[in-house]
Amino acid sequence: MLYLDTAVVLTLFIDEPTSRPVEDWLAARRQPLAFSDWGLTECASALALKQRRDGMDVALARRCFATIADFVHESCDLIACAPHHQTEAQRLLSRFDLPLRAGDALHLAISQHADATLVTYDRLLAVSAKVLGAKVRNPLARSVKP
């Protein structure tokens, strides 16, 4: 199973330089996809920030979020964030040797509990996942130079 982080999902629906390579990488995969309700929350937050900071039209932001939610419900196993995910994220963050932010720690905890491969192009999240021995893949590894 491939657990998608929020940036990967957003790039599928918001035109960015990473959009095409991520789409192509995912299209070549046969594994089932997973996402979390936490990721949906982050998507809504990111779209709200785009609306406030970049002037994204409110109606467009709403349509984009509805499209993301439809994709997640139709194409992904939706994993509900549970108390044990929060506890694990807190444990990861309190190590203090990992360059994790709270949301990323939660994604990492959810993906590990699901025994899924974390799909991210966030370098700090990928480094943390590797340190922990978690399965991680960067969909841009071959298409974008570090």
Threshold 0.95, pTM exceeds: no
**Tokens 């963050």, residue?**
93
Strand partners, 136: 118
Average pLDDT per run of 10 along the chain, which is 146 residues long?
97 95 95 98 97 95 98 98 98 96 97 98 96 96 53
Question: According to the model, what pLDDT value does residue 142 have?
Answer: 66
CA pair distance 26, 31, nearest whole angstrom: 9
Strand order in the sheet with 76-79: 76-79, 33-36, 2-4, 117-119, 136-137
* CA-closest candidate to residue 9, choices 38, 43, 41: 43
For the domain 2-137, what is the CATH superfamily, name and number?
5'-nuclease (3.40.50.1010)
Q: Where are the domains of the chain?
A: 2-137
Contact in structure between 122 and 100 (CB atoms under 8 Å):
no
* Residue 126 backbone zone (phi > 0: left; psi -120 to 50: alpha; other: beta): alpha
